[in-house]
Structure 1
Amino acid sequence: MGILLALGSSVLYGLADYLGGILSRRGSFVAIALVGQVTGLVFSLVAVLLLPEVAAGPEDLAWGALSGVGTGLGMLFLYRGLSRGHMSVVVPISAVGGVALPILVGVALLGERPSVLSWLGIAAAVPAIWLVSRVRGPSGSGSAAATTDALVASMAIALQYTALAQAGPDAGLWPIVTGRVAATLVLVPVALRARQRRISVRLTLGAAAVGVMATLALLLYLLATQVQLMTVAVVLSCLYPVIPVLLGITVLHERVATHQVVGLLAAGAAVVLITVG
């Protein structure tokens, strides 16, 4: 069950990041990120009020808030990178960094010990994420500024995943709620200082949809970490770059490069190895 939850998180994040990247090129990336987090906050509050009451402890709420700081910073730098750089550069760097750092934390600090097969799956997943995300773009698309944004986003995403995984199983959705509050508080000062122009109703609705999908993705990841090692859950959740490529092949009938086929096969092998392990 934990594997399915993590894979579901990956699908939702793939859809959310792809749509968020498109929207950030059509309007203010700060506004897109802020609307997404505010919508996610409202959605998570409604969900937590509809579910049976739980008693989340102060530590659970604190871990959720710390995760939200990573979310806010991650979305801010990810969307800025996507607004001025090529997705083939920004996405793989943010995804690989986002998966590698939590693995190191899980093994070195939390004492997690994945099985041999799971380690093989993890080893296959990291290059798979990179290969799938690599698409040909115009020269100069991988600017130094966009690459820097992607590196910062990767560290923030790693914080998001690592902190959220520390919330207890009895906390319910409250860590998600406090995370959305923290993410919003991170983005509001940036939006006020930037004084960005208002985005259109269409972009606002799109950003709201991104916020709901991203919140659901975090919820599935949180549930996955409660029944699965964080090192395994975060690897599967970070396979999200596969989704834009699959959408391009199946919906837009785009041609796929050889290295992307290799990446898709490696991703499939990684899922099988982790599942068996």
Structure 2
Amino acid sequence: MGNVLALASALCFGSTHFLSALLSRRMNSTAVALLGQLGGTAAILPVTLAVPAASVDVTALGWGALSGVGTGIGITFLYRGVSTGKLSVVVPVSDVGAVALPVLVGVVLLDERPPVLSWLGIAAAAPALWLVSRASGEPGHRAEPGRSGGTATGSLAGLVAGVGFAVQFIALARADEAAGLWPLLVSRVASVLAIAPAALATRAALRPRPRLLLGTLATGTLGTLGTLLYTLATREQLLTLAVVLTALYPAIPVVLGITALRERVSARQLVGLGLAAVAIALIALSGA
């Protein structure tokens, strides 16, 4: 069940980042991040109140807050990166960081020991994540006004985003299950607070056209659903495996680009998609 939840989380994250990348080219990327997290916070509040919590302590809420800070940093720099640099640079750099650090923490600090098949799946996932995110170009790309684009900018933004997402993944997995969904609600609130200074500093326009506003709120809700599914996956699965499966989300924008935008897929991306399928199969078989 943990594998299914993690893959469903990947589907949500991939769809969210695909839609947010499109929105970030029509409005300020920091505004997309902030409004999205506000939408996600509003969506998770009634769910949190409805789910029983046996014991909500300061430690669980602290882990939730830390994950929210990671989320805020991650999406701010990810959306900033895709608005000023190449998606094919930002996404793989951020994703490698988001996978490598939690796996290291799981193995070294949490003493997790995945089965041999799972290790083979992790080994296949690493090149899959890189290849599936490599695109030949970014047609229609437009940088935000007053900011220069480029590979260097995208790489730096992707690196910082990867560290932020790694913190998000690790911290949420450490929150006590007895706290119900309160750590996730605190995480959403903390992400809003983490993004707000950047929004004020860049003077992001927080009153976009109604169509764009609804889009950002919807993507934030979808991203929060992905975070919820990931949290549930960590309660059924090792952190190491849940992170690897969730982090396969870059395959989703590629598939959506092919089907919805009729983009051409490169040979490298086909190889990456194939390796992603192998990684999923190996990890699934290890838990069978």
TM-score, normalised on structure 2?
0.93
Aligned-residue identity in percent: 53
How far residue 253 of structure 1 moved from its aligned partner, in angstroms, is: 3.5
Partner of 1:165: helix, strand, or coil?
A: helix
1:200 and 2:236 matched: no
How far residue 71 of structure 1 moved from its aligned partner, in angstroms, is: 0.2
- Corresponding position of 1:268: 277
Give, in whole Å, the separation in 1 of the partners of 2:63 and 2:52. 21
- Corresponding position of 1:65: 65
Aligned positions of 1:1-277 closer than 5 A: 1-137=1-137, 142-197=150-205, 198-277=207-286
Gaps of 5+ in 1: none
State the AA in 2 paired with 1:109: L
Gap change, CA 1:92 and 1:47, over 3 Å in 2: same
State the AA in 2 paired with 1:146: G
* Contact persistence 1:60–1:167 (CA under 8 A): yes
Moved over 4 A (4+): 138-142
Give, in whole Å, the separation in 1 of the partners of 2:174 and 2:19. 29
Partner of 2:174: helix, strand, or coil?
A: coil
How far residue 143 of structure 1 moved from its aligned partner, in angstroms, is: 1.9
Gap change, CA 1:206 and 1:233, over 3 Å in 2: same
Gap change, CA 1:106 and 1:207, over 3 Å in 2: same
Which stretch shifts more, 158-167 or 45-54? 45-54
Partner of 2:263: helix, strand, or coil?
A: coil
Q: Could you give the per-residue CA deviations for residues 167-203 of structure 1, whole angstroms, max 9, x where no partner exists?
A: 1222211111000111111111221222223322221
How far residue 254 of structure 1 moved from its aligned partner, in angstroms, is: 3.0
* Contact persistence 2:64–2:187 (CA under 8 A): yes
Which stretch shifts more, 188-197 or 264-273? 188-197
Total equivalences in the alignment: 277
Give, in whole Å, the separation in 2 of the partners of 1:142 and 1:101. 26
Partner of 1:77: helix, strand, or coil?
A: helix
State the AA in 1 paired with 2:70: G
Which stretch shifts more, 259-268 or 136-145? 136-145
How far residue 48 of structure 1 moved from its aligned partner, in angstroms, is: 1.0
